[in-house]
Structure 1
Amino acid sequence: MDPAALSTVLLDVIRPLAQARRPGSVDGVTVADLPLDRPKSRDHGDWASNAALKLAGRVGANPRELAAEIAAALADIAGIASVEVAGPGFINIRLDAAAAGMLAKTIVDAGDRYGTADTRTDEVVNLEFVSANPTGPIHIGGTRWAAVGDALARILQSQGAQVTREYYFNDHGAQIDRFARSLVAAHDGLPAPEDGYGGAYIADIARRVELAYPGDLDALEPAAKQEVFREVGVGLMFGEIKQSLREFGVEFDVYFHENNLHASGAVDRAIARLRELGHIFEADGATWLRSTEFGDDKDRVLIKSDGDAAYFSGDLAYYLDKRERGFNRCIIMLGADHHGYVRRMMAMCAAFGDEPGLNLQILIGQLVNLVKDGQPVRMSKRAGTVVTLEDLVEVVGKDAARYALTRSSADSNLDIDIDLLQRRTNDNPVFYVQYAHARTHNVARHAADTGVDRSVFDPATLTHDTEALLLGALQEFPRVVAFAAEVREPHRIARYLEELAGLYHRWYDNCRVIPLGDDAIEPVHHTRLWLNDATGQVLRNGLALLGVSAPERM
């Protein structure tokens, strides 16, 4: 009996009890209002419910008395072994082995659909992440967002959301000019400008611009020469960024060019919309958004007194463009240095008449530090002063990099131990989880060789303590995925997988799928193969949500 089925049974039991006390008191109550929780100790049962505490006031009953009535009715339901009332009215439910064990077949039959849901089909999500400036390779902070953002997209899609992965291409502004001047300096054999970009990649890009340009670059006027290096150099750099992300397993649906906002008149349209709504004013020769009315600490300049657009004006235009494209959830992932930007963005959202935190969500990621031999890794062979995506993948591999970057909450600083990730031991978390998956396949291969198959399924035979614990964890997977989608936290999947892997390894040490020696094959061996394969399926489904492979042999 899975949680959804048990919640339905619980509601079916409660309705007549409530009707007898106060007719109509639970009308409108659904299974979503009666969540089940896993007790911290399995001694308290398989599931716990606070339904009596939640509904006692509505039905006019003492919570503990209502809980006792619910418990008595549940005790007569097939598949429920026992029900106890605890504390002020909590209900602890224990399933019998057959009812609990049915989950193994449910998972195998569902395959890669296990853990998916259709609860977010009304969400049309624009997920903007990475969005590194095209002035250099993706550094380790951007790499963290690539891993976390792609995992979040997969998780949201698994719950029915329509997700568009979007990369905001910053090709407008002073940083692009500094990049172009740096390329010109490299071409001319000069040091990088004081405010420019260094690193071997600048010389690489400059040489590629020289090869790509059909004429004599040095015959051009300085302004024209710089424009060639800007246009061609940015294109080459962005091509490298795309390729790096593709090799990391991250594909974007949309690459949105910041420059288009200014060239298309989108900035003027956004300001005009806010002016119609009464939120624009003029002062000191500039155009302002009255953002303090929506919680900002000060009003924001949109058009400066010299007529140039302020950077924030592009944010207005970009947000409005997303909403006009039909997205009702705009999620933006930003680095720690953008923390002070959140308030003005939320004020902008409210000024357009939207709901901050719903139509616009901003996730802030903290810093990533690489450690090797106990010391920080600070230098990149190519970028000079930062560690890049390619550096990390070259050292530990794509799977280890993606897993390490997603297994911790993005809003906390992260230290990645390179030595640890290179080990093929159980203290390496990605190896630990992948090895558990490979072990399930190894068990299945040996089972096939000895005649143990899935032709028999008798869930009542799954009575060992480690089987109850393993089934309990498997049952939690859909809830973990749903919660990870709700709170936008992919690391919850990784931590769950590590717990599941540990429970599987413990089960493997205690319960045999293949009989010893000449012992006969019994129903329990066939049934344990179902449980083995179900565990492999959940490990595989979870790793897929993180964009990490599930090897069958290691």
Structure 2
Amino acid sequence: MTPAKLAQVVLDAAAAVFAARGLDRSLLPDSTAVERPRNPEHGDYASTLALQLGKRAGVPPRELAGALAEELGRAPGIKSVEIAGPGFLNIRLDPAAAGQLARSIVEAGSAYGRSDRLSGQRVDLEFVSANPTGPIHLGHTRWAAVGDSLRRILAAAGAEVTSEHYVNDAGAQIDKFGQSLYAAARGEPAPEGGYAGEYVAEIAQRLLAAHPGVLDLPREEAERVFRDSGYRLMLDEMRASLERFGVHFDVWFSERTLHDSGAVEHALDELRKQGHVYEADGAIWLRTTDFGDDKDRVLIRSNGEKTYFAADAAYYINKRERGFDKCVYLLGADHHGYVNRLRAIAACAGDDPDFNIEILIGQLVNLVRGGVPVRLSKRAGNIITLDEIVDAVGVDAARYSLARSSTDSPLTLDIEEITRRSNDNPVFYVQYAHARIASLLRNAGELGVDRGRDLDPGQLRHDKENTLLKRLGEFPAVVATAAELREPHRVARYLEQLAGDYHRFYDACRVLPQGDEPVTDLVRARLWLVEATRVVLANGLGLLGVSAPERM
């Protein structure tokens, strides 16, 4: 019995009690939940439903808990129900009902953990959004890992998710990039405010080979060739680096298209209809202070030039007009100032900033080796690139380590620690649990031991089996909560707990027979439990974009 099914049994029992007592059934919630008690001696699961409903129904909570306990005691799969404190319900499952979860998980396979919690929501998830003027670097890499994990988790919770990379290909930085490439091709220093690093020289040489005679063109025309061709090459490199990291974007959205398509002018018209656009000092403004911003924002300067903020407004309205209910932005630590202004854009557009837009800010990440900061990149000048991180630690170690911590706090990764093959390394600990199971299942196959088609769940009575089963039952709720709170690290921390429970089970409960020992129902039941654990470990690692190895 899964926690979700048990919660429904509790709710059904409450409906029966309310009907029998003539209580107002409209007070019953649409859903409820059960939790694992901190002290296992208190039972397998606990419910606070009697406490929640008693006062509203005009019944002392402990009295209502007594009626619920009596009703639940008649439900199949429930061994006993005890009342604690002012009205807590401590529930113990029959071992057969608890063990049946192993079959449910194995039969569900890759679908186990998925739900319809966010069904019906169309989410645009924008992350990384690096300028196409240099390689993807360490500052982008955390959001690449977290953002892609969140994409997978939101989809597992039933949302329709589009992952999007906003390409900042309009404005002065692209012109500076073209000028820097031109200077590098001529062996000149980068212009003031331009781009340096070996990658600039490398791209310049590639462009010279692709465009012979480009330096013979007038400077302005040559810089335009370097700008446009260099931009495309850099974008290709960014895509390749992210794909290598396991990150795929459904949409690469060009800022330039907002201006070329008239989307900025359209957005201004839409904002005018809402009554929040005004003119002052020859410029056109958006009255964002009405919605929490610290100052009103200029949309069009007095010289007729459109601001970055105008593009931001057009981009948000474009997303909403593409049918997205929620626009989620994952921004770097230096973008705190964007929170109120983006929320204000949503409000000025007539939307609910508490629903239609979310801005998540990720803190900085530092890379060290043995506690010593890693050297700066030679190729990129003053940054550590994503490709260098992957070369140093691998995709799995990088993704897992970046996703397992809350983005609210700065993160320091030690190369030596995250590549160490020991139980002190979380990614190794979790992957080793999966590999250990795969090894056991291979051994079972070599011995001709099969779990069979039938499971006797009542065989799974050991304390460590019970603990493992309860942990496996938590997985769907963990995924749903991670999706709702936008916190992929909850999945990683759960997997570490699950791996620990499995290792303790394995040490206490021998699975395969030895010598001439017969293949018993207990052996087969434990093989079901082992396979169920493998399924959940693989599913959880998959949500983080990390492999589930068969051998280590």
TM-score where L is the length of structure 2? 0.98
1:520 CA drift (Å): 2.1
1:518 CA drift (Å): 2.4
Matched, 1:131 2:140: no
Q: Which stretch of structure 1 is more off in the superposition, 10-19 or 196-205? A: 10-19
1:169 to 161, 167, 170: 167
CA distance in 2, matches of 1:471, 1:385: 49
Match in the other structure for 1:29: 28
Task: Please give the secondary structure, in 2, of the residue aligned with 1:549.
Answer: coil
Match in the other structure for 1:354: 351
Matched, 1:449 2:446: yes
1:321 CA drift (Å): 0.6
1:30 CA drift (Å): 4.5
Task: Please give the secondary structure, in 2, of the residue aligned with 1:233.
Answer: helix
CA distance in 2, matches of 1:392, 1:227: 33
Matched, 1:377 2:374: yes
CA distance in 2, matches of 1:420, 1:316: 43
Output the amino acid matched with 1:19.
A
What are the Cα deviations for residues 77-119 of structure 1, in whole angstroms up to 9, with x where unaligned? 2211221112221111111211111101110010001001122
Match in the other structure for 1:142: 140
1:20 CA drift (Å): 3.8
The answer to whether the 8 Å contact 2:451/2:523 transfers is: no
The answer to whether the 8 Å contact 1:154/1:545 transfers is: yes
The CA RMSD over aligned residues, in Å, is: 1.2
Output the amino acid matched with 2:399.
R
1:307 CA drift (Å): 0.8
Match in the other structure for 2:45: 47
CA distance in 1, matches of 2:370, 2:436: 31
Output the amino acid matched with 1:37.
E
Matched, 1:258 2:255: yes
What are the Cα deviations for residues 212-236 of structure 1, in whole angstroms up to 9, with x where unaligned? 114x122211111111111011111
What are the Cα deviations for residues 37-65 of structure 1, in whole angstroms up to 9, with x where unaligned? 12112111111111011111332101111
What are the Cα deviations for residues 261-286 of structure 1, in whole angstroms up to 9, with x where unaligned? 11111111111111111111100110
The answer to whether the 8 Å contact 1:138/1:241 transfers is: yes
What are the Cα deviations for residues 373-429 of structure 1, in whole angstroms up to 9, with x where unaligned? 211114113112111100110011111111111011112111111001221111111
The answer to whether the 8 Å contact 1:370/1:415 transfers is: yes
CA distance in 2, matches of 1:252, 1:123: 19
The answer to whether the 8 Å contact 2:126/2:164 transfers is: yes
Match in the other structure for 1:187: 185
The answer to whether the 8 Å contact 1:437/1:552 transfers is: yes
CA distance in 1, matches of 2:240, 2:27: 52
CA distance in 2, matches of 1:16, 1:247: 55
Task: Please give the secondary structure, in 2, of the residue aligned with 1:202.
Answer: helix
CA distance in 2, matches of 1:20, 1:93: 22
Output the amino acid matched with 2:134.
G
CA distance in 2, matches of 1:422, 1:400: 7
Task: Please give the secondary structure, in 2, of the residue aligned with 1:37.
Answer: coil
Go from structure 1 to structure 2 and tell me whether the alpha carbon gap of 1:31 and 1:509 turns closer, same or farther (over 3 Å shift). Answer: farther
The answer to whether the 8 Å contact 2:4/2:33 transfers is: no
Match in the other structure for 1:120: 118
Match in the other structure for 2:433: 436
CA distance in 2, matches of 1:181, 1:44: 70
What are the Cα deviations for residues 498-529 of structure 1, in whole angstroms up to 9, with x where unaligned? 11001101111111111233222211001000
Output the amino acid matched with 2:377.
S
1:271 to 268, 280, 294: 268
CA distance in 1, matches of 2:343, 2:207: 41
Output the amino acid matched with 2:50.
A
Identity %: 58
CA distance in 2, matches of 1:80, 1:378: 60
Task: Please give the secondary structure, in 1, of the residue aligned with 2:329.
Answer: strand
1:28 CA drift (Å): 6.7
The answer to whether the 8 Å contact 1:26/1:59 transfers is: no
The answer to whether the 8 Å contact 2:99/2:458 transfers is: yes
Output the amino acid matched with 1:484.
A
Match in the other structure for 1:396: 393
CA distance in 1, matches of 2:50, 2:487: 31
The answer to whether the 8 Å contact 2:50/2:61 transfers is: yes
What are the Cα deviations for residues 4-36 of structure 1, in whole angstroms up to 9, with x where unaligned? 22122112211132234444x22373452x111
1:421 to 418, 422, 436: 418
Output the amino acid matched with 1:259.
R
CA distance in 1, matches of 2:235, 2:84: 61
Matched, 1:17 2:14: no
1:341 CA drift (Å): 0.9
Task: Please give the secondary structure, in 2, of the residue aligned with 1:255.
Answer: strand
CA distance in 2, matches of 1:118, 1:184: 53
Matched, 1:343 2:340: yes
1:185 CA drift (Å): 1.4
2:465 to 464, 467, 471: 467
The answer to whether the 8 Å contact 2:288/2:344 transfers is: yes
CA distance in 2, matches of 1:111, 1:72: 36
2:478 to 477, 480, 490: 480
Output the amino acid matched with 1:252.
F
1:259 CA drift (Å): 0.8
The answer to whether the 8 Å contact 1:46/1:95 transfers is: yes
Output the amino acid matched with 1:377.
V
The answer to whether the 8 Å contact 2:459/2:522 transfers is: yes
The answer to whether the 8 Å contact 2:17/2:71 transfers is: no
1:193 CA drift (Å): 2.2
Q: Unaligned stretches of 5+ in structure 2? A: none
The answer to whether the 8 Å contact 1:447/1:513 transfers is: no
1:221 to 213, 218, 223: 218
Match in the other structure for 1:111: 109
What are the Cα deviations for residues 438-473 of structure 1, in whole angstroms up to 9, with x where unaligned? 111111111222232121411111111111110010
The answer to whether the 8 Å contact 2:27/2:56 transfers is: no
